[in-house]
Every structure is written in structure tokens, then in C-alpha cells.
């Protein structure tokens, strides 16, 4: 009897099982007419603030669920719950991103019947969150000019894998060096298809255009599921 | 630290493909444009694989080049970015240069992730 080694050809992404989980979630969300957005950014770009402003403008009649990824605290979910929406905290501990299984588990006990919108606030990190599919309809990357305009060149992953870039904190531009204005140009250099919104959650500037886009995507999701 | 979930996902996939047989080597394709560090992946793999049929498996890495695709004309281009050159600015230059068809709508379609290429297992004949 001779020992013989065999090779099994796999040639697949190691995220295969996550991708399958995410595809199942995406199908379930689509069937219910729920628009799902995965929000990624570095820490402190204003993800929670943008979610707050978005929920405020949608008003209490729109049922929204916000899944908050955070290493240890529930500070973000508390801010969402304070607005009357459903805030669910996922503490990733040492983990630097959310995955589809975490989303499935987090939503397992939530009645999504009348839900129009799920916002997933990913862990603040530009490197890997965008690589893990969560079943979202769209990925939105947030960046602020204070982080420096070169971020799309330093961390292109998040910008390449996103559909939309929101440049937040535009109210600070007058106080910053001219180089910080290069964010949109550098983002377009790595992903020409990026749709870009410029907002300030402090002054409210640019939020109308962002909200038009959000409402249009929610309407698309409802229509596709045959909901009015 | 973000190699930990990649190591776990890779181990899970290798185990599911090898049906309980002892795994001797795992061949991995690391995207040239992924943020995955092979040494770090190996550290997590050693820890996570303990007590599994992959416990003593050797990890063999190869680099998967970046592929960019033009969304206008569909052309795929494989980029040969040498290891010595930092990939991110080099890629940004390629993307900014645009496609030969004149479009600037390029997207990265290869070399972003971590692929499990082949699992080598012990077998008896």
C-alpha cells in the first residue's frame, strides 16, 4: 500500500460561504421590498450622524432598522434608538468588519414585515469591510475632507467596491488646506462609476440631494417587490 | 488582525472540500491588491487549525495579479505590477490612465481577495 497525495481543485474565493449567506439575505430583503445599505468609512467620518439625519428626514412613519457594527460599545445603537428606530448592536470585539452571518443572526428576531429600510453601519475601517458582502442593495462609502483627500488612493478597496461616495463635513472645507478638496477627484480616479454626494450633517448642506437618492432607491426596492 | 476571519473562512472551505482527510498543503492565491498579509494569515491558521485534519498543513501562497475591466468596452487587462512597487499608487495610475477605447470607467475585477486554489490531501491506494 502506498501513500499517495491527491490534489483537490477548488479555485474559489475563501469568502464563498459568506457570499452564499449574503446572496440568501439579499433575496430575502428583495422579496420584502426592503432597501439595504452597507455604510463603510474610517472611524469618525460621520456614519452615525448621516444615519441620524437620514432617519429624521424620512420621519417616524418609515420603519427603519439600523444594524450597528462596533468593536465594543453600544453608543451608536443608543443614538439610533433615541430617534425611535430599531437599533441593533453587533459587537465585533477584535473583529474589524461585519459578515453576513452576523447580519442574519442580528435580524433573526426582528419583524421585518413593514420595514422599508435597513442601514448597516459597518465597523469604522476602510480596509476590509467592503470585501465582505452583507446582502446589501448598495454600498456607500463615507469620507470627510479632514481625513485628507488622498484616502481613495491609499485605501482604494472601499472606494472600488462602493456604489456611492458621501463626502461629509463639507462645512469644514474653508478651514482646511486646498489638498483636502481632492477627495472627489481621487475617488473618481479609482472608480469612475461612483456617484458622489457632498453633505454636512451640521449645516444640512447637500442632504436634500442625498435624501432624493435614498427615497428613489427605497421606491425601487418597494416596486421590485410589488409593494406600493 | 483582519487576517483572522480570512484564516477561518479558508480553513472552513478547505475542510469542507477535503471530506475529513488529512490536509497536507493548501495552495492559496493572494490578490496583489488585497490587504492580506500571508505571514499573518499563517499565524492565525496555525492557531485555528489545531485539532482539525488541517493541523499540520503547509500554506503555499501565490500572487494573483490585478485585473481591471473596462465597463464601456468590456476589455480585461491583467496588470503586471512588480512586488517591489507599491500596488495602490500603481493601480491608481492605471485606473486614471483609462482604457484604450477612451473610457475612464474602469473597475478592478481581479486580485482583490483571497482564493483557495487547491487542497492537497493524504490518500491511500
Q: What is the pLDDT of residues A118-165, one digit of tens each?
A: 999 998 888 778 889 999 999 999 999 998 888 888 888 899 889 999
Identify whether residues B11 and B56 lie together within a single domain: yes
Identify whether residues B116 and B60 lie together within a single domain: yes
Cα–Cα dist A8/B39, whole Å = 24
CA distance to partner chain B, nearest, from residue A155 (Å): 8
Cα–Cα dist A145/A10, whole Å = 43
C-alpha distance across the termini of chain B, in Å: 41
Residue A115 has pLDDT above 90, yes or no: yes
Residue A2 has pLDDT above 80, yes or no: no
Residue of B18, B95, B107 lying closest to A189 (CB–CB):
B95
Mark yes or no for CB contact A15/B113 under 8 Å.
yes
Cα–Cα dist A1/A62, whole Å = 69
Identify whether residues B96 and B51 lie together within a single domain: no
Q: Which residues of A touch B38 (CB under 8 A)?
A: none
Among A158, A166, A160, smallest CA distance to A126 is for: A158
Domain that holds residue B42: 3-64+112-121
Say if CB A87 and CB A55 are below 8 A apart.
no
Identify whether residues B100 and B116 lie together within a single domain: no
Cα–Cα dist A157/B36, whole Å = 12
Residue A1 has pLDDT above 60, yes or no: no
Residue-range domain boundaries for chain A? 21-221
* Torsion region of A84: left, alpha or beta (phi above 0 gives left; psi -120 to 50 gives alpha): left
Q: How many domains are contained in chain B?
A: 2
Give the Cα-Cα-Cα angle B78, B82, B83 (nearest 5 degrees). Answer: 120
Q: Which secondary structure element, helix H or strand E, spans residue A222, and what is its range?
A: helix A207-224
Identify whether residues B44 and B70 lie together within a single domain: no
The answer to whether A139 contacts chain B (CB < 8 Å) is: no
The answer to whether B75 contacts chain A (CB < 8 Å) is: no
Residues, chain B: 125
Q: Which residues of A touch B34 (CB under 8 A)?
A: 131
Instruction: Check which CATH number belongs to the domain holding B116 and give it.
Output: 3.30.2320.50
A94: nearest CA partner in chain B: B1
Identify whether residues B103 and B116 lie together within a single domain: no
Give the Cα-Cα-Cα angle A188, A137, A41 (nearest 5 degrees). Answer: 50
Identify whether residues B32 and B43 lie together within a single domain: yes
ipTM, two decimals = 0.87
Among B109, B54, B70, B92, smallest CA distance to A190 is for: B92
Q: Which residues of B touch A11 (CB under 8 A)?
A: 115-118
CA distance to partner chain B, nearest, from residue A102 (Å): 12
In which band, very low, low, confident or very high, does the pLDDT at B1 lie, cut at 50, 70 and 90?
low
Identify whether residues B13 and B58 lie together within a single domain: yes
Q: Name the class of domain A21-221.
A: alpha beta
Among B23, B20, B87, smallest CA distance to B58 is for: B23
pLDDT at A37: 98
The b/e string for A204-214 (b: 16+ C-beta within 10 A; e otherwise) is eebbeebbebb
Average the pLDDT over B65-94 and give the result.
89
Residues, chain A: 228
Average model confidence (pLDDT) across chain A: 91
The answer to whether B13 contacts chain A (CB < 8 Å) is: yes
Say if CB A52 and CB A80 are below 8 A apart.
yes
Mark yes or no for CB contact A192/B9 under 8 Å.
no
Mark yes or no for CB contact A5/B24 under 8 Å.
yes
Identify whether residues B71 and B46 lie together within a single domain: no
Identify whether residues B36 and B59 lie together within a single domain: yes
Mark yes or no for CB contact B1/A94 under 8 Å.
yes
B89: nearest CA partner in chain A: A153
Average the pLDDT over B20-49 and give the result.
94
Q: Which secondary structure element, helix H or strand E, spans residue A142, and what is its range?
A: strand A138-143
Helices (H), A95-191: 100-107, 151-154, 156-160, 183-190
Q: Which residues of A touch B4 (CB under 8 A)?
A: 94-95
In which band, very low, low, confident or very high, does the pLDDT at B42 lie, cut at 50, 70 and 90?
very high
Average the pLDDT over A60-74 and give the result.
89
Identify whether residues B7 and B55 lie together within a single domain: yes
Amino acid at each position: 500500500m502506498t501513500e499517495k497525495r491527491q490534489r483537490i481543485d477548488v479555485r474559489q474565493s475563501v469568502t464563498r460561504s459568506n457570499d452564499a449567506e449574503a446572496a440568501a439575505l439579499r433575496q430575502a430583503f428583495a422579496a420584502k421590498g426592503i432597501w439595504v445599505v452597507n455604510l463603510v468609512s474610517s472611524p469618525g467620518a460621520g456614519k452615525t450622524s448621516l444615519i441620524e439625519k437620514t432617519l429624521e428626514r424620512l420621519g417616524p412613519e418609515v420603519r427603519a432598522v439600523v444594524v450597528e457594527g462596533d468593536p465594543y460599545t453600544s453608543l451608536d445603537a443608543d443614538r439610533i434608538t433615541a430617534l425611535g428606530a430599531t437599533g441593533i448592536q453587533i459587537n465585533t470585539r477584535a473583529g474589524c468588519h461585519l459578515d453576513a452571518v452576523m447580519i442574519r443572526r442580528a435580524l433573526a428576531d426582528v419583524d421585518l414585515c413593514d420595514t422599508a429600510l435597513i442601514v448597516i453601519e459597518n465597523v469604522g475601517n476602510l480596509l476590509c469591510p467592503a470585501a465582505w458582502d452583507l446582502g446589501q442593495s448598495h454600498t456607500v462609502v463615507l469620507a470627510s475632507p479632514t481625513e485628507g483627500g488622498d484616502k481613495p488612493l491609499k485605501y482604494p478597496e472601499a472606494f472600488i467596491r462602493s456604489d456611492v461616495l458621501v463626502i461629509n463635513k463639507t462645512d469644514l472645507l474653508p478651514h482646511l488646506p486646498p489638498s483636502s478638496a481632492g477627495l472627489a477627484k481621487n475617488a473618481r480616479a479609482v472608480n469612475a462609476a461612483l456617484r458622489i454626494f457632498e453633505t454636512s450633517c451640521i449645516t444640512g448642506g447637500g442632504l436634500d440631494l442625498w435624501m432624493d437618492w435614498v427615497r428613489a432607491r427605497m421606491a425601487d426596492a418597494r416596486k421590485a417587490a410589488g409593494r406600493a | 488582525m483582519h487576517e483572522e476571519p480570512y484564516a477561518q473562512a479558508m480553513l472552513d472551505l478547505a475542510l469542507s472540500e477535503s471530506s475529513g482527510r488529512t490536509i497536507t498543503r493548501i495552495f492559496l492565491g493572494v490578490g496583489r491588491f488585497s490587504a492580506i498579509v500571508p505571514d499573518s494569515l499563517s499565524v492565525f491558521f496555525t492557531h485555528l487549525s489545531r485539532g482539525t485534519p488541517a493541523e499540520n498543513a503547509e500554506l503555499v501562497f501565490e500572487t494573483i495579479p490585478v485585473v481591471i475591466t473596462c465597463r464601456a468596452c468590456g476589455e480585461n487587462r491583467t496588470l503586471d505590477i512588480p512586488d517591489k512597487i507599491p500596488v495602490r499608487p500603481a493601480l491608481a495610475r492605471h485606473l486614471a490612465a483609462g482604457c484604450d477605447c477612451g473610457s475612464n470607467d474602469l473597475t478592478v475585477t481581479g486580485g482583490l481577495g483571497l482564493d483557495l486554489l487547491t487542497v492537497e490531501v493524504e490518500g491511500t491506494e
